[in-house]
Amino acid sequence: MKKVQATINRIVFAFAMAIIMFFGWKTNALAAGDEIVVDFSNGQPKSFDFQKYAPTVSSVTKSSDLDDDAKAVMSLTYILDSLEEISLNQDSARGAEFIISAAPNQSISFNTSDDYSFFYADPKSSVGTYEAVVTKNSMRKGLTNEDIDYVFHVVEYLYGINATNANGDRYFKLKLLFSNPGYGYVRLNENGTVERIIRENSFSENNCSYEVTADDEVKFTGVTKKTKSVNIPDTVMHQGYTYKVTAIADKALSGNGKVTSVTIGSNVRSIGKSAFEKCKKLKKAKINTTALTSVGKRAFAKNASGFTAKVPKAKYKAYKKLFKKSGSSVKLKK
């Protein structure tokens, strides 16, 4: 195993060795499930204070007394150097950069001084989320059993994690959050395969088009092919992520001459201006949502003669006011 500690973090290495001498590998940390989460999204470095935590002949700081930053620095020093497909760019005796991914861009700089050792991710360039299920199979090829055990021992000591999977193999999960965590994902699976996903800002599923408005929300923007029936669902899945459909865009189906019925899902909070205007064959709509708070001007107008919209009974009065205020010509039914 390439010993990053020996070249850029000798003091942390000495600290870990002192832990072994004084305490063995018995953990002093509280049980923490099976996941380590390190948040770099605010652009702040994670630092280890040598003066505060340096071991002496008579005492060693217990892991339970280490702050979160100190634990992050110590654990990442070992973990990042062991993981498959993470490369190390070392340009000086005191500085290095762990390259995780190029698309989405993810990297962590590591530096030391006489007083501190710290990790830093540039919020202007590193984006998204890195997730790893760390097992012996997802670690770098060529590591010895001793190298592998060492990583698990460090994690157990610092975080109290001693988990095994269905095959009886030790594992832990690592999540690194960078700027705009929802932008994209890099996932290292337990078998060592790597998956990279950059989330699309707009997409289509099941004949419906959407635009992402939040990490887990989208608005319906139209259809890819005109059909008689349009179902705007409660949720939609894309690229393995589930989004709530919370809005209908302005002019989403405006002028659609084929649609005769529309169903609006239970998570929709707003309907945009002229969303269904001039849908001349539109005879009925079923509005399932009880969360509707905004209806744009003429959302329903110039539809088929006798057009009606069925709404939840408990929301009949409130929705009648909403639609009247919007100037929509629609007869509501309970």
Give the pLDDT score at 26: 44
Question: Pick the residue with more confidence: 88 or 307?
Answer: 307
Question: Is residue 61 over pLDDT 70?
Answer: no
Give the pLDDT score at 28: 40
Report d(CA 328, CA 279) in Å as an integer: 13
Work out the angle at residue 70's Cα, subtended by the Cα atoms of residues 103 and 12, and round it to the nearest 5 degrees: 95
pLDDT one-digit tens code per residue, 170-213? 999 999 999 988 888 999 999 999 999 888 999 999 999 999 99
Inter-residue contact 99 to 107 (CB < 8 Å):
yes
Q: Please state the rounded mean pLDDT for residues 22-28.
A: 44
Tokens 């110590």 correspond to 74
For residue 85, name the pLDDT band (cuts at 50, 70, 90).
Answer: confident
Q: Please state the rounded mean pLDDT for residues 114-125.
A: 83
Domain boundaries, the chain: 4-198, 202-333
Task: Give the best-scoring range by mean pLDDT among 15-29, 74-88, 177-191, 208-222.
Answer: 208-222
Give the pLDDT score at 43: 84
Task: Give the best-scoring range by mean pLDDT among 52-56, 129-133, 212-216.
Answer: 129-133
Question: Is residue 4 over pLDDT 90?
Answer: no
**How many Cβ atoms from other residues are within 10 Å of residue 296's Cβ?**
19
Give the pLDDT score at 13: 52
For residue 42, name the pLDDT band (cuts at 50, 70, 90).
Answer: confident
pLDDT one-digit tens code per residue, 215-263? 889 999 999 999 999 999 999 999 888 999 999 999 999 999 999 999 9
Fold of 202-333: 3.80.10
pLDDT one-digit tens code per residue, 94-109? 578 899 999 899 999 9
Q: Please state the rounded mean pLDDT for residues 134-150.
A: 92
The pTM of the full predicted model, rounded to 2 decimals, is 0.67
Question: Is residue 293 over pLDDT 50?
Answer: yes
Residues above pLDDT 70, as percent of the chain: 86
pLDDT one-digit tens code per residue, 260-273? 999 999 999 999 99
For residue 22, name the pLDDT band (cuts at 50, 70, 90).
Answer: very low
3-state SS, the chain, equals: CCCHHHHHCHHHHHHHHHHHHHHCCCCCCCCCCCEEEEECCCCCCEEEEHHHHCCCCCCCCCHHHCCHHHHHHHHHHHHHHHECCCEEEECCCCEEEEEEEECCEEEEEEEECCCEEEEECCCCCCECEEEEEECHHHECCCCCHHHHHHHHHHHHHHHCCCEECCCCCEEEEEEEECECCCCEEEEECCCCCEEEEECCCEEEECCEEEEEEECCEEEEEEECCCCCEEEECCEEEECCEEEEEEEECCCCCCCCCCCCEEEECCCCCEECCCCCCCCCCCCEEEECCCCCCEECCCCCCCCCCCCEEECCHHHHHHHHHHHHHHCCCCEEEC
